[in-house]
A and B are shown apart, each in its own frame.
Chain A
């Protein structure tokens, strides 16, 4: 059974770069039917999609964070990663990685729903 597990530092200082990794186990990240994405949930607010990536390297970003975010994939390690630059207290939240299913019509434009999620990792930005 495929599983996703987030890993990251937990605590990051303001203005530094947050780096998170999602390890996919029980299946291959190199699937033509899926993207792989990051979502976060600020306290008291709804979920926010951050970015998604296809195993071939195509990337899709939410404009609200695009200038500070980079998503990447390492198929040899069955992992994908997220970097958020110049973090502030507003980036303190729970971060999820998820498998992002393209749908029966195939993978186009980053569209799809999140059919499998990790449990999330809490990141705190504080000095």
Chain B
């Protein structure tokens, strides 16, 4: 199976700063079939990005995704207070579909 490794494990930033999260795959992700999710305690996870760079419905344009092959990034251009959460990547190019272990974005 494809193992997704996210880095860093924790990102400590202030509101207004830029966040760059990495997701590295153990082998190439077919057709850039990679998604990003936001998780907050007690809430349903939310889809942010699919197909590596397409924003899901209703997602603000401060969220952007990029990359291909084995290296992908999620960028939050200017952190808003509601953006502090855990972010996970998922590949759906090769079964079984797998997730990264998550990056926590916390308030510095």
Chain A residues with CB under 8 Å of chain B are 4, 39, 45-49, 60, 62-64, 96, 98, 101, 103, 109-120
Question: Which residues of chain A are within 8 angstroms of B42 by Cβ–Cβ distance?
Answer: 119
**Interface Cβ pair total, 8 Å cutoff:** 64
With A and B bound together, what is the CA distance between A98 and B47 in angstroms? Answer: 11
* CB pair A113 B92 closer than 8 Å: yes
Question: Which residues of chain A are within 8 angstroms of B37 by Cβ–Cβ distance?
Answer: 47, 114
With A and B bound together, what is the CA distance between A1 and B29 in angstroms? Answer: 32
A-B CB contact pairs (8 Å), 25 listed: A4-B44, A46-B100, A46-B102, A47-B37, A47-B88, A47-B99, A49-B90, A49-B96, A98-B45, A110-B95, A111-B33, A111-B92, A111-B95, A111-B97, A113-B90, A113-B92, A114-B35, A114-B45, A115-B47, A115-B50, A115-B56, A117-B44, A117-B45, A118-B44, A120-B44
Min distance, Cβ B97 to any Cβ of chain A, angstroms: 5
* CB pair B96 A119 closer than 8 Å: no
Question: Which residues of chain A are within 8 angstroms of B101 by Cβ–Cβ distance?
Answer: 45-46
Question: Which residues of chain A are within 8 angstroms of B88 by Cβ–Cβ distance?
Answer: 46-47
Chain B residues with CB under 8 Å of chain A are 4, 33, 35, 37, 42-47, 50-51, 56, 88, 90, 92-93, 95-102
* CB pair A109 B99 closer than 8 Å: no
Question: Which residues of chain A are within 8 angstroms of B100 by Cβ–Cβ distance?
Answer: 46
Name the CB-closest residue of B to A114. B47
Name the CB-closest residue of A to B57. A115
Most buried by A among B43, B46, B47, B92: B92
